[in-house]
A and B are shown apart, each in its own frame.
Chain A
Amino acid sequence: MKKLLITLTAVLLLVGFTAGPVLADQTMDLIKKTGKVKLGFREGSIPFAFVDPKVGKHVGFSVDMANLLAENLGKRFGKKIEIVPYTVTPKTRIPMVINGTVDVEMGSTTYTQKREEPADFSMIFFFSETTFLVAKDSGIKKLTDLSGKRVGAARATTNLRAIEALVKEGKFKPKDIIITETHPQGMLALRSGKIDAYSTDRSLLEGIRMKDKNPEKWMTVPFAIAYEPYAYIMREGNSDFRDFVNDTIIWTIKTGKFFELYEKWMGPNGVVPIPMSQAYRDYLNMMVYPISDGWWKK
């Protein structure tokens, strides 16, 4: 009986310690202690986060944003904060954030309610549209033109789900939906005639198109089937860190750095030219809350 009581107490104590409330923001503490922030980047998410074959390093809009984040973190802690880059895929990005391999994923992740459940998201910093890449001479102008055609999309993407939802609602009837593993495979399928239209975000499709030997042969269709808000992924329950990421985004918009980065990667001379729509520009300007230099100090 005594033994049982001791065991029970031990178990209760153990449960009490492990399940107790987390008082401090672990992510911020860890960054302060180690002087390193662990970043998750995609490998082929052009122009947001991709590996530049010339230098063999991650580059892109979100990577530049990560550099600004590290800079600000450096100002907060009064020492240089180094970025430790990790490569993530659509499959691993959320698990790697949850298990602590990376502190924040900065790429081109679509913010959804389902994804919000296991992880935290930053503010929305970009909107992309789910649309299709087709051959210019295919004559596809509206969604119903795709009925009876084969459409392709990558596995486990919101784009695929958007197509499946439209099919279910009877908005259009494709002959077949071909599922690929990666976007380059999707382009290969499009080129070899396996599919008539390949679907993902417009920005990514423009990126794929520009990489093709003959970019003029292809075009993105003038309509969209879904809008995709992009945001950065963080662990749940680290609101100080989340605030810091959000402040960084807001501060870059306020100081115009955001627009410089946009121009650099998506301007007319950028890697993937995507004209900034008026609605998107308005959104950015309207969500800026009052923030002044020195915010990074506590």
Chain B
Amino acid sequence: MGFAYDFDWGVLWRQPYGIWLLQGIWLTLKIGFLGWIIAFFWGIIIGTLRVTPWRWLRLMATAYTEVFRNIPFLVQLFFWYYAGPMIFGDHLGRQINQIMGLNYYVAIFALGFYTASRVAEHMRAGFASISRDQYQAVLSTGMTQYQMYRYVIIPYALRIIIPPLTTEFLTIFKNSSIAMTIGVAEITFMSYRIDAITFHGLEATTGAMFIYLVLGLTIVWIMGIIESRFKIPGMIGR
């Protein structure tokens, strides 16, 4: 029994579908990059707090990491979008719900905060891989704890964890497809939308796959350049 399916690759560039895909790409890029900026800086802060000598800060950072790391992103996104505004009470919650493009902002922040917990864990691994002697060497020069992390340890750790960060940077673009479930019209949403109207889901999904692949490979390439410039010889790659 053959499949009664006529391929029509034209749905990938015929109008308005081609424009939809381009709009989807633009939105995916925006969500991914903005989410990554939040994830990167917030992740460094949380990761650093997890190894500081102050117990309460350490506890709070650990709690943050464990909460965000252990709940599926889909569930988090759904929670922040539907239940999030209710935290602020009925009146303020309703006003938050009136914000135009709320789902887009929620997607960026949810993605950023979720990925931050993962970046924080990589940071911790980076700190752990730096030997005790080096911390003591820095402190013996008269630097304070803050100065030690700010000028020596964090830049040092970041250079060590470039490979796992590349993976996280890739993952944030892939995870952005989950924003579809709260109605953000990114690539996956658009390919499903084309499917719903033309019933050519195979072509639309293949198109989306190809776009993600090109996007991913571009990121790998850029991160490869960064890695070759900033890696510490002997630590990653030879």
Interface residues, chain A, with chain B CB atoms under 8 Å away: 18-19, 22, 26, 91, 94-95, 98-100, 114-115, 117-118, 150, 155-157, 161, 175-176, 178-181, 185, 188-189, 192-194, 235-237
Q: Which residue of the partner chain B has the closest CB to A91?
A: B192
Whether, in the assembled complex, B166 has its beta carbon less than 8 Å from a beta carbon of chain A, the answer is: no
Q: Which residue of the partner chain A has the closest CB to B195?
A: A156
Contacts of B198 in A (CB 8 A): 114
Check B4 against A156 for contact (C-beta < 8 Å).
no
**Sampled A-B contacts (7; CB under 8 Å):** A19-B2, A98-B3, A118-B199, A155-B189, A188-B82, A189-B82, A192-B82
| Contact (A176, B5) CB under 8 Å given A91-B192, A117-B199, A155-B192 | no
Check B192 against A179 for contact (C-beta < 8 Å).
no
Contacts of B182 in A (CB 8 A): 180-181
Check A95 against B4 for contact (C-beta < 8 Å).
no
A-B complex: 6 closest residue pairs judged by Cβ atoms: A179-B183, A156-B196, A193-B94, A194-B97, A193-B97, A181-B181
Q: Which residue of the partner chain B has the closest CB to A20?
A: B2
Contacts of A178 in B (CB 8 A): 103, 183
In whole angstroms, how far apart are the Cα atoms of A100 and B3 in the complex? Answer: 10
Complex interface bits, B177-219 against A, C-beta within 8 A gives 1, otherwise 0: 0001111010001001101111101000000000000000000
| Contact (A100, B100) CB under 8 Å given A115-B199, A180-B183, A192-B82 | no
Q: Which of B4, B93, B94, B192 neighbours the largest number of chain A CB atoms within 10 Å of its CB?
A: B4
In whole angstroms, how far apart are the Cα atoms of A117 and B199 in the complex? Answer: 9
Q: In which size bucket is the chain B interface?
A: 20 to 34
Minimum C-beta distance from B96 to chain A (A) = 9
Contacts of B19 in A (CB 8 A): none
Minimum C-beta distance from B107 to chain A (A) = 13
Minimum C-beta distance from B10 to chain A (A) = 15
Contacts of B102 in A (CB 8 A): 194
Contacts of A98 in B (CB 8 A): 3-5
Complex interface bits, B40-83 against A, C-beta within 8 A gives 1, otherwise 0: 00000000000000000000000000000000000000000010
Check A192 against B94 for contact (C-beta < 8 Å).
yes
Contacts of A181 in B (CB 8 A): 181-183
Whether, in the assembled complex, B235 has its beta carbon less than 8 Å from a beta carbon of chain A, the answer is: no
Minimum C-beta distance from B165 to chain A (A) = 31
In whole angstroms, how far apart are the Cα atoms of A26 and B85 in the complex? Answer: 54
**From B85, B100, B189, B196, contact of A192 by CB (8 A):** B85
Minimum C-beta distance from B187 to chain A (A) = 14
**From A115, A118, A175, A193, contact of B5 by CB (8 A):** A118
